[in-house]
Amino acid sequence: MSRILARDVLKGRPTVTTSDVGNAQETIAELFGDHRISPIGFHQSVDMKLRSVRRGGVGIEFLDYGTEVQIDAQALDDFFLVQIPLGGRARLQVRSSIVESSPALATIPPLERPFTMTWDRGAPHLIVYVQHQTLADVADRLFGQDSGTDLDLGLSMDLKGIQGRAFLRAVVELQDAMAAEHAEVPDHLHRLLAETMLSRLLMATIKPLGPAPGGNADDRGRLTRRFNALLERHSAEELSVSDIAFSLGVSIRTLQAVVRSELGETPSELLRRTRLTRARELLLAAEPGSESVTSIAIEAGFSHLSRFSSAYLRAFGELPSESLHR
């Protein structure tokens, strides 16, 4: 399909503009969370243009900083972003992994890990925003129940291939609808367009889990024991399912399939449960006034206090603060 033009993204919707870096940072933080914007070069200002529409767990954003910038972002919490340069180039760095993006290659920042981006001057972006639960629900319907539990979209999407082009077409149709006034697009039509886009996003980035890999029972048992041992030793560290798979020398798909087959739960569920159990032990053992819920959550491996508190309440029927003050 032909290239998406910046002027056509959410055409007709209000455009927020600013040249002040602080104002730009505050405006974008309201949409995507804490980050720092640093203009690169002589001029320490921006020429930001922003258009944004969100509805039903999905959103389309047009963002142009008007100059070369570096963006240091905190970990995304509960949403995915697909970032499509409409011109120029951009770079996404997550630890030692670097993705150079262009109109032919989108970037997908990771969940729960900080990252750095550099956007060239002349690199306006179309950004697709998706709530994690919204995408997980579509994954369950598309690939089977519980497929959305461990969503790993990778860090990039090829927009030149069949699946990438199909995703782009769905994005264009959705943004055309979202650019219209809310009353002009009935809820059922928006849901249809959004689900089509989300299905194509999943088809372009992941494959459904199959049965456990063919190795024999001893091989699967050995991998499961190594997985459990790794959780026991390192669950409190900054660790993702992809990190665990890399450490064990297997693909994410293999790890997910074997762990689900052998233990009946996904790797992320077991990692979360291990951290919650450790947090409860620390909370109950703490001397009153000597520890805080925040410090114990961090020690157990949680980086988001609100998510920790809600998960703890679901698991143990009481708030972390109640356990701490027993």
What's the pLDDT at 145?
60
Whether the CB-CB separation of 66 and 47 falls below 8 Å is answered with yes
Distance CA 324, CA 316 (A): 13
For residue range 161-215, what is the model confidence (pLDDT) as tens digits? 999 999 999 999 999 999 987 667 888 888 999 999 999 999 999 765 555 554 6
Q: By three-state DSSP, how is residue 155 classified? A: coil
For residue range 236-269, what is the model confidence (pLDDT) as tens digits? 887 777 778 878 888 777 888 888 888 888 888 8
Q: Tokens representing 259? A: 């762990």
What's the pLDDT at 79?
94
What's the pLDDT at 65?
97
Task: Compute CA distances 28 → 12, 37, 101, whole Å.
Answer: 20, 10, 21
Whether the CB-CB separation of 104 and 116 falls below 8 Å is answered with no
Rg of the chain taking only CA atoms, in angstroms: 21
Distance CA 155, CA 169 (A): 21
The residue among 229, 174, 230, 180 whose CA lies nearest residue 199 is: 174
DSSP 74: P
> In order of start, what are the domains of the chain with their CATH numbers?
6-205 (2.60.120.10), 217-324 (1.10.10.60)
Q: By three-state DSSP, how is residue 290 classified? A: coil
Single pTM value for the model: 0.73
Spans of the chain below 50 pLDDT: 214
Pairing of strands 79-85, 69-73: unpaired
Q: Facing residues of 76 across strands? A: 111
Whether the CB-CB separation of 155 and 93 falls below 8 Å is answered with no
